[in-house]
């Protein structure tokens, strides 16, 4: 083969010399390295008891946000559903009635909002698409359940609870 570039560097493939041919040096060198590692600090953590810190931008399960007065921010515009490459988000819009101003921020809100967590690929496009700061990806990850239906998260699982309200745990 002619060379395509002048940057090629052949790898070191010389045959074993006499010293290396005796198995023992290789074995002892390996043993020494392994022994050295016994006295090193553990690289693992005991997961459920200890947890490592995530980066602030970690992409975990979604939540639906409220504004500073506790009203739902989502207006059911559907941009998150359009942006979702896994087609995991569905929603139904409804119109705000007089007297519901303390519940919903805008005149339109999501009557139904579902994310199928089994379809979700946690790409973060919904958060990026949202023009109302309503959907966020949190640091929660690895939900578990015995039933597939439990992974279709509705509004009651996704909305962050109002202060004073009991936290609903979707995994329970």
Partner 1 sequence: MTEKHIQLRQDSLQKETTTLNLGPTHPVTHGVFQNILEMDGERVVGATSTVGYIHRAFEKLAERRPFYQITPLTDRMNYCSSPINNIGWHLTIEKLLGLRVPKRVDYMRVIIMELARISDHLICNSVVGVDSGAYSGFLYLMQYRELIYEIYEEICGSRLTTNIGRIGGFERNFNDKVFSKLDKFLAEYPGVLAEFERLFNRNRIFMERTIGAGPISAERALNYSFTGPNLRAAGVDYDVRVSQPYSSYEEFDLKIPVGKTGDCYDRFLVRNQEMWESMSLIRQALQKMEKEPADIFHADAPAYYLAPKQDVYTKMEALIYHFKIIMGEIDAPVGEVYQAVEGANGELGFYLISDGGRTPYRLHFRRPCFIYYQAYPELVHNALLSDAVICLSSLNLIAGELDA
Binding residues for partner 1, rule: CB under 8 A, are 1, 3-5, 7-13, 16, 20-21, 23, 26, 29-30, 33-34, 37, 43, 54-55, 57-59, 79, 82-83, 85-86, 121-125, 128-129, 131, 133, 137
Cβ neighbours of 29 (radius 10 Å): 10
Token readout for 101 is 């101003």
Of the pair 93, 123, the CB lying nearest partner 1 is at 123
Place of tokens 């007065």: 69
CB of 39 to partner 1, least distance (A): 14
CB of 51 to partner 1, least distance (A): 14
| Local structure of 62: helix, strand or coil | strand
Of the pair 17, 169, the CB lying nearest partner 1 is at 17
Distances (CA, A) of 133 to 10, 15, 48, 115: 55, 64, 31, 17
Separation of alpha carbons 105 and 56, rounded Å = 27
Of the pair 29, 168, the CB lying nearest partner 1 is at 29
Of the pair 111, 121, the CB lying nearest partner 1 is at 121
| CB-CB contact of 135 with 74 (8 Å) | yes
CB of 24 to partner 1, least distance (A): 10
């Amino acid at each position: 083969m002619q060379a395509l570039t002048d940057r090629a560097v052949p790898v070191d493939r010389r045959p074993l010399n006499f010293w290396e041919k005796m198995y023992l040096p290789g074995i002892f060198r390996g043993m020494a390295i392994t022994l050295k590692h016994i006295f090193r600090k553990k690289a693992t953590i005991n997961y459920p008891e200890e947890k490592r810190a995530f980066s602030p931008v970690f992409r975990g399960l979604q939540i639906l946000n409220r504004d500073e007065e506790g009203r739902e921010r989502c207006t059911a515009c559907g941009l998150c559903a359009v942006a979702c490459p896994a087609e995991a988000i569905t929603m139904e819009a409804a119109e705000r009635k007089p007297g519901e101003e303390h519940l919903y921020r805008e005149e339109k809100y999501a009557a139904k909002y579902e994310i199928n967590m089994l379809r979700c690929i946690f790409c973060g496009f919904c958060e990026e698409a949202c023009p109302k700061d309503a959907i966020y990806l949190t640091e929660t990850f690895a939900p578990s359940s015995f039933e597939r239906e439990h992974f279709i998260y509705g509004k009651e699982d996704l909305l962050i609870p109002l202060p004073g309200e009991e936290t609903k745990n979707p995994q329970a």
